[in-house]
Amino acid sequence: MCAGYLRRRPPWRENGVVPSALAELKILDFSRVLAGPFATMMLADLGAAVTKIEPPGGDETRHWGPPYDQAGEATYFQAVNRNKRSLVLDLTDRAQRDRAQALARENDVLVENFRPGVTERFGLDYDTVRHENAGIIYCSITGFGGGRGAALPGYDLLIQALGGLMSITGAPDGEPQKVGVALVDVLAGLFASVGILAALEHRRESGQGQRIEVDLLSSLLAGLVNQASAYTVAGVVPQRMGNQHPSIAPYEPLRCAGDELVLAVGNDRQFGLLCEVVGLPGLAGDPRFATNRARVEHRSALRTMLEERLAARPASAWVDALTEAGVPAGVVNDIGGAFGLARELGLRPTVTIEREDGTTVELTRNPIGLSLTPPIYRSAPPRFRPLG
């Protein structure tokens, strides 16, 4: 067993430096694309030493572009692979396969998302690895689990379609839409990282390793939260509603003078304040709109009345007035505008990391704030170094 991580580190500073939360944790990462690499990067940010094993052609996302950086490498790969050491191994070669197996014996955690049967063929399956490393935390990420869906390809778009997310995304009279980012992969990566941390805590107390299984379809179903419980509890199958909310109103973009205002009115008090700001104070007492349930039932009439008043001013002007009054409101930013807002709010949304060649890359900051053991940024995403 890799016992280094099991030894409790002293809670005080060492040589004036606060130890990282996961210092001494060693992770062997065979995963590719997004879900697994996202999970291991989260743990690497918290101090874990991650060795990323890549095939001779590299992780697929190294080639998923445009866009590319100035050196011609895809920016997709760089989103989820900082703080890692890259090691290219051809597992069909006996000597390199032996090296991979040796690394599996030396690490605390192994993460993989191979197709069914691949780990067994290379001697890297859970039963084989734990025979040599009883304390291994072995995390397998699949598309549809290890049963009858094991052979199905686990691409995010397919999961969004088959898992129902596309059926509730888009305009009611339009076609189903995917979310604008591979959200299912991100969810699965987060669930995987939580599972790994839970297994590590169990191992610290018991000395036992274990296998973690995370599949994309189950991750999506869990991530559907209230839309899922509408079906499981009440038998209601949610449908596409565009930007409207199934249970709250007004909670949507509304047309103003030349652009759109986003309102997120979550209670009756906020609705009353909204009515005051837009000059419709009597609306809050109207039986059709006095409660959230009533507003949901009469959302079309409410939308029409609000948009008639909102048309007098641009969204930015309404945002200022509504925010001052305590009504949640905003505009629809593009990605650049979103990062700009975060900077304005002092959230420091990015970090700049130096590469080995002296160039730098700017990446999204880890959003977890820890007062004693904050995330660290030791190294930029590794450049690809082919075999030979």
pLDDT of residue 70: 86
CA-CA distance, 282 to 271, in Å (whole number)?
Answer: 11
pLDDT of residue 15: 54
Averaged pLDDT, 307-325: 95
pLDDT of residue 10: 47
In a domain, 174, yes or no: yes
114-162 pLDDT, tens per residue? 998 999 999 999 999 999 999 999 999 999 998 888 888 899 999 999 9
340-357 pLDDT, tens per residue? 999 999 999 999 999 988
Q: Which residues contact 11 (CB under 8 A, 6 or more apart)?
A: none
In a domain, 131, yes or no: yes
Q: Average pLDDT, whole number, for the chain?
A: 93
Is 356 in contact with 72 (CB distance < 8 Å)?
A: no
pLDDT of residue 333: 94
User: Does 153 share its domain with 75?
Assistant: yes
In a domain, 96, yes or no: yes
Residue-range definition of the domain harbouring residue 18: 4-223
In a domain, 61, yes or no: yes
Strands (E), the chain: 26-29, 49-54, 84-88, 109-112, 137-142, 210-215, 251-255, 260-264, 329-330, 350-354, 360-364
Concerning whether 156 is annotated as a catalytic residue, the answer is: no
Give how many domains the chain has, as a whole number: 2
User: Does 203 share its domain with 96?
Assistant: yes
CA-CA distance, 361 to 380, in Å (whole number)?
Answer: 7
User: Does 217 share its domain with 256?
Assistant: no
In a domain, 202, yes or no: yes
CA-CA distance, 103 to 91, in Å (whole number)?
Answer: 13
Lowest mean pLDDT among 1-5, 45-49, 133-137: 1-5
CA-CA distance, 224 to 230, in Å (whole number)?
Answer: 10
**For residue 226, how many other CB atoms are within 10 A of its CB?**
11
In a domain, 255, yes or no: yes
Is 136 in contact with 209 (CB distance < 8 Å)?
A: yes
SS3 state of residue 97: helix
pLDDT over 80 at 7, yes or no: no
Per-residue pLDDT band at 12 (split at 50, 70, 90): very low
User: Does 255 share its domain with 308?
Assistant: yes
Averaged pLDDT, 72-83: 94
**For residue 76, how many other CB atoms are within 10 A of its CB?**
21
In a domain, 122, yes or no: yes
Among residues 45, 59, 125, 185, the one annotated as catalytic is 185
pLDDT over 70 at 16, yes or no: no
